[in-house]
């Protein structure tokens, strides 16, 4: 009901394809060897205070703090369980 109330007939004449117009202008300029006349797009706004560098720096700082708080783990090889190579060798010796 709400959709039906807010909907209307689509009239393509109301809309302009600015991308297609800009591409056609560039093509025409290249055909006639004219310099580019395309207008540069507006620079992206810095909406809602997003500063990616500050966010990344904060993330790095937090990661460094977490690493300081957690004890270092032993990242060496496990010696309590036999490796796959050892298991295969043992299995091949038993099947001879």
Number of helical (H) and strand (E) elements in the chain, helices listed first: 4, 0
What are the φ/ψ torsions at residue 14 (nearest 5 degrees)? -70, -20
pLDDT at 86: 81
The three-class DSSP label of residue 54 is helix
User: Is residue 14 pLDDT above 90, yes or no?
Assistant: no
- What tokens were used for 65? 């703090």
17-71 residue pLDDT tens: 899 999 999 898 888 886 666 666 666 565 556 788 888 888 888 888 888 877 6
pLDDT at 88: 83
pLDDT at 20: 93
pLDDT at 31: 87
pLDDT at 44: 59
Q: How many CB atoms lie within 10 A of CB 50?
A: 8
Half-sphere exposure of 81 toward its Cβ, with a 13 Å CA cutoff? 4
Specify whether the CB–CB gap between 35 and 29 falls below 8 A: yes
Which of 1-5, 16-20, 77-81 bottoms out in mean pLDDT, i.e. has the lowest? 77-81
pLDDT at 19: 93
């Amino acid at each position: 009901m709400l959709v039906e109330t807010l909907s209307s007939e689509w009239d393509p004449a109301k809309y302009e394809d600015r991308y297609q117009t800009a591409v056609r202008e560039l093509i025409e300029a290249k055909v006639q060897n004219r310099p580019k006349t395309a207008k540069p797009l507006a620079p992206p706004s810095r909406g809602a205070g997003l500063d990616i560098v500050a966010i990344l720096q904060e993330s790095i700082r937090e990661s460094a703090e977490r690493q300081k708080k957690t004890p270092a783990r032993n990242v060496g090889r496990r010696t309590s369980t036999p490796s796959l190579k050892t298991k295969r060798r043992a299995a091949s010796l038993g099947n001879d």
